């Protein structure tokens, strides 16, 4: 069974890049009939907040990304301890004592000599006496995973294809701080093993981490999952944008962006498939394919999201939106107004055209006479009995006034709605009703 996971740290709200990663992992699992897991990476107790855990769950639910299981790293510390001891016993981790300042100096020296800025493994040459002396000075060690330099690290990446790293060109990663707290690398590998994760899809900024973690899986006696690394999101200008780091579900909700629009955009962003206003998730799932993912940065365009949102709102049936519509607006009202909306929240503005009052226009003498005739026709004929009062009214007025085209339709729209454009009058006039429509025509005929 395919098992994927999304592993956010609860140190802030999800941003659009996180959302895309979560969505793609969910799609990868669901397309294969598998399981999608949420792992809360909250080992950083100082920065993690329970309010962000709640927000992550709420945002995923709002987006329609259902989870099939959840784990908290803060509740799994004994698993990491056990793996740590296993690796220490097998000689795959070692203590190191350099300060941050010493490591930075080493990095600068290496760069100055034209060498890669990787850790020089100086801690491995320390004798037991030297280590004891440092600890006697109160210097607590941090712990590094010892990479095996014998063979290249290679895997077939689901997006990037064949990958190969020379482990000698990588630093032995720090897996545990001097205060005993964990960094990302080892706990993540342990969790993937014990949670049965079969596929990891994440950003291309993790490629070198994957090389290191593949050796961790082997050292722990477990086969690594399949890895795929997708291109990162960039802004419309083609650069990494700070705004993308703050743009999340709360911002989308405030703008009236629907979750279906976000999913439609992010599902295909960075692939060769066209981004289309597809609200049916089965369609998106059936076409999801890692082979369509490209290596070029994926450009996120807020204007494109807005256009998608409008197109998807136009597809919504009444049942989907009923709870968000103004009081009194029924299914007929929704169908009349829907084509004019870019956001559901705009329905209230358009519904006021029906309920009134409407802004008055100033009409010339000819148009006032024409509108007076329209009021007379409406009063003397039961236009609404036909079920198509707009057609009945305009047909009658064309016969009595000889008007046609814009001269026939525009003054009526202005008088009845207060606007020069808007919903189809054939759908709108029955909602306005005979009494309100007649009163508006009379008022407009008298407006000089």
How confident is the model over 288-344, as pLDDT tens digits?
999 999 999 999 999 999 999 999 999 999 999 999 999 999 999 999 999 999 999
Q: What is the mean pLDDT of residues 411-431?
A: 94
Q: 365-446, which class in CATH?
A: mainly alpha
The strand pairing partners of 37, in sequence order, are 5
pLDDT band at 39 (very low <50, low <70, confident <90, very high): very high
Give me the residue spans of the domains in the chain.
Answer: 80-176, 318-355, 365-446
- Is 12 within 8 Å of 18 (Cβ atoms)? no
- Structural tokens at position 188: 């993540």
Q: What is the pTM of this model?
A: 0.89
- Is 129 within 8 Å of 121 (Cβ atoms)? no
Span 403-412, pLDDT tens digits: 999 999 999 9
- Structural tokens at position 345: 């929240």
Q: Which of 328, 327, 330, 326 lies closest to 347, judged by CA?
A: 326
- Structural tokens at position 357: 């009052």
Looking at 63-139, list the stretches that DSSP marks H as alpha helix, in order from N- to C-terminal side. 77-89, 100-112, 128-136
Q: Please state, in angstroms and as integers, the Cα–Cα distance from residue 86 to each residue in 175, 211, 220, 346, following that order.
A: 14, 20, 8, 60
Q: Please state, in angstroms and as integers, the Cα–Cα distance from residue 263 to each residue in 12, 60, 258, 259, following that order.
A: 21, 11, 9, 6
The three-class DSSP label of residue 213 is helix
Angle at 309 between CA 350 and CA 260, to 5 degrees: 120
Span 236-279, pLDDT tens digits: 776 666 677 778 999 999 999 999 999 999 999 999 999 999 99
CA 300 to chain centroid: 10
SS3 per residue for 322-367: HHHCCCCCCHHHHHHHHHHCCCHHHHHHHHHHHHCCCCCCCCCHHH
Span 40-87, pLDDT tens digits: 999 988 899 999 999 999 999 999 999 999 999 999 999 999 999 999
Q: What is the dihedral of CA 352, 356, 361, 363, to 10 degrees?
A: 130
* Residue 242 annotated as part of some ligand binding site: yes
Angle at 115 between CA 110 and CA 118, to 5 degrees: 65
- Give the pLDDT score at 247: 86
Percent of the chain with pLDDT over 70: 99
- Structural tokens at position 179: 């205060």
CB atoms within 10 A of CB 242: 9
The CATH T-level fold of domain 80-176 is: 3.90.800
Contacts of 346 (CB under 8 A, 6+ apart): 256, 340
């Amino acid at each position: 069974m395919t098992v994927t996971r999304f592993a956010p740290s609860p140190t802030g709200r999800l941003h659009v890049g996180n959302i895309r990663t979560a969505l793609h992992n969910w799609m990868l699992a669901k397309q294969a009939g598998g399981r999608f897991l949420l792992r809360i990476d909250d080992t950083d107790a100082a920065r993690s907040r329970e309010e962000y855990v709640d927000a992550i769950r709420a945002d995923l639910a709002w987006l329609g990304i259902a989870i099939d299981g959840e784990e908290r790293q803060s509740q799994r510390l004994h698993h990491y301890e056990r793996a740590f001891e296993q690796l220490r016993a097998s000689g795959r981790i070692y203590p190191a004592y350099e300060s941050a300042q010493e490591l930075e100096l080493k990095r600068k020296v290496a760069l100055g000599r034209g060498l890669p800025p990787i850790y020089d493994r100086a801690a491995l040459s320390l004798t037991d006496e030297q280590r004891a002396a440092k600890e006697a000075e109160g210097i607590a060690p941090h712990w590094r995973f010892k990479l095996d330099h014998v063979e290249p690290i290679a895997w077939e990446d689901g997006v990037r294809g064949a990958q190969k790293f020379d482990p000698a060109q990588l630093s032995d990663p720090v897996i545990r701080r001097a205060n005993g707290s964990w960094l990302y690398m080892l706990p993540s590998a342990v969790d993937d093993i014990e949670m049965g994760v079969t596929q990891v899809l994440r950003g291309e900024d993790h490629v070198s981490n994957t090389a290191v973690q593949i050796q961790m899986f082997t050292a722990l006696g477990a086969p690594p999952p399949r890895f795929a690394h997708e291109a990162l999101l960039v802004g419309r200008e083609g650069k990494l944008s700070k705004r993308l780091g703050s743009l999340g579900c709360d911002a989308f909700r405030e703008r009236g962006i629907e979750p279906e629009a976000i999913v439609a955009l992010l599902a295909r962003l960075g692939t060769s498939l066209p981004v289309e206003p597809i609200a049916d998730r089965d369609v998106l799932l059936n076409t999801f394919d890692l082979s369509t993912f490209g290596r070029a940065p994926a450009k996120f365009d807020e204007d494109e999201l807005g256009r998608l949102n409008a197109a998807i709102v136009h597809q919504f049936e009444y049942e989907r939106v009923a709870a968000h519509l103004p009081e009194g607006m029924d299914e007929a009202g929704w169908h009349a107004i829907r084509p004019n909306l870019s956001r559901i929240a705009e329905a209230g503005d358009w519904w006021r055209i029906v309920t009134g009052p409407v802004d008055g226009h100033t009409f010339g003498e000819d148009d006032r006479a024409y509108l007076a005739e329209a009021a007379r026709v409406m009063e003397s004929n039961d236009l609404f009995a036909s079920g198509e009062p707009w057609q009945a009214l305009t047909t009658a007025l064309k016969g009595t006034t000889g008007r046609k085209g814009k001269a026939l339709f525009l003054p009526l729209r202005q008088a009845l709605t207060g606007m020069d454009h808007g919903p189809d009058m054939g759908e709108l006039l029955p909602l306005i009703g005979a009494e309100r429509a007649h009163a508006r025509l009379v008022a407009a005929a008298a407006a000089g």
